[in-house]
């Protein structure tokens, strides 16, 4: 199968089975599963489980199948309208938190927020910060708002729809964070099928060399930064010098 991972088969199957059980009874967690391996499963649950397994065999990321991912120790709802949050993006949050400690009530904006992962994580750890989250996709913003509500920070984040910093034009920020699209179109076929075939292309690809968004974003950020402010970016492999 295009996105199958035999080494993860048992773990993925267990995750899908737990998802089926939990939808019917929240008390049925992993511990329950391990102590009831010989239990009979209702026909409707069996059918649902097999349907989910077929989706996984076709390469669909398990996070989309169960509708959930973890980021910075927090639970996030995900759909195919947003990228699945990656562990490496947690480094952007860590750096932003370090920098935020140098400001009183910092103004922070997450450009291209997607699932809201960075904005929500920052809001959860910075009680005095004013946080904005921008995305050009209305569907992505709906997911981000849902995640802010889920993690109890919806009243701390201002969501705006639009291109890059356009929705907050003229406003100053101490910190700008972004994990923009940075994959070159020519690298499309090198991506794992799970990524290439299921995650939103608009959140992945950025022109012939992958630098198109950086070229547009960075000048706008320098105009938006308050005195002594910082831009924290995720960049693709081998792009550090070009972005610098």
CA Rg, the chain, in Å? 20
Taking only the tens place, the pLDDT of each residue in 64-102 is 999 999 999 999 999 999 999 999 999 999 999 999 999
- HSE of 53 in the Cβ direction (CA atoms, 13 Å)? 15
pLDDT digits (tens, 9 = 90+) for 130-164: 999 999 999 999 999 999 999 999 999 999 999 99
H helix or E strand, kind and range, residue 95:
helix 90-100
The separation between CA 3 and the C-alpha centre of its own chain, rounded to angstroms, equals 20
Are 191 and 198 in contact, with CB atoms under 8 Å apart?
no
**pLDDT 10s digits, 180-226:** 999 999 898 889 888 999 999 999 999 999 999 999 999 999 999 99
Element (H, E) at 143: helix 138-150
Mention every residue, 6+ apart, whose C-beta is less than 8 A from residue 191.
Answer: 183, 204
| pLDDT for the residue 18 | 84
pLDDT at 29: 60
Mean pLDDT (the chain, rounded): 90
What average pLDDT does the segment 53-69 reach?
A: 92
How many Å apart are CA 149 and CA 116, to the nearest integer? 11
- Using pLDDT thresholds of 50, 70 and 90, give the confidence band for residue 27: low
Model confidence, pTM? 0.88
- Lowest average pLDDT, out of 29-38, 141-150, 230-239, goes to 29-38
**Closest-CA residue to 134 (of 171, 178, 94, 170):** 178
Look up residue 192 and give its two tokens. 């794992």
Tokens 């308050």 belong to residue: 226
User: Residue 177 pairs with which residues in a beta bridge?
Assistant: 110, 232
- Residues 185/244, Cβ–Cβ less than 8 Å: no
Which pLDDT value is given to residue 126?
Answer: 97
Q: Across 130-236, where does the E strand assignment appear? A: 130-135, 157-161, 173-178, 225-233
95: nearest Cα among 64, 73, 72, 62 = 72
């Amino acid at each position: 199968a295009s996105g199958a991972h035999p080494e993860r088969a048992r773990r993925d199957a267990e995750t899908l089975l737990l998802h089926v059980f939990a939808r019917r009874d929240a008390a049925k967690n992993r511990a329950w599963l391990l102590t009831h391996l010989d239990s009979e499963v209702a026909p409707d649950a069996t059918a649902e489980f097999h349907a989910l397994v077929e989706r996984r065999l076709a390469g669909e990321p398990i996070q989309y199948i169960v509708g959930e991912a973890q980021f910075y120790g927090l639970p996030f709802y995900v759909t195919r309208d947003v990228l699945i949050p990656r562990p490496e993006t947690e480094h952007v949050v860590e750096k932003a938190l370090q920098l935020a400690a140098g400001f009183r009530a910092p103004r922070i904006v997450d450009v291209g927020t997607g699932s809201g992962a960075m904005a929500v994580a920052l809001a959860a750890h910075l009680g005095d910060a004013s946080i904005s989250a921008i995305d050009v996709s209305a569907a992505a913003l709906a997911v981000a708002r849902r995640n802010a509500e889920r993690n109890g920070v919806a009243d701390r984040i201002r969501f705006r729809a639009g291109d890059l910093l356009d929705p907050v034009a003229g406003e100053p920020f101490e910190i700008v964070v972004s994990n923009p699209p940075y994959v070159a179109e020519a690298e499309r076929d090198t991506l794992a099928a799970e990524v290439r075939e299921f995650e939103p292309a608009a959140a992945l690809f950025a022109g012939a060399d992958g630098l198109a968004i950086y070229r547009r974003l960075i000048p706008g950020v320098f105009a938006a930064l308050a005195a002594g402010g910082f831009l924290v970016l995720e960049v693709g492999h081998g792009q550090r010098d070009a972005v610098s």
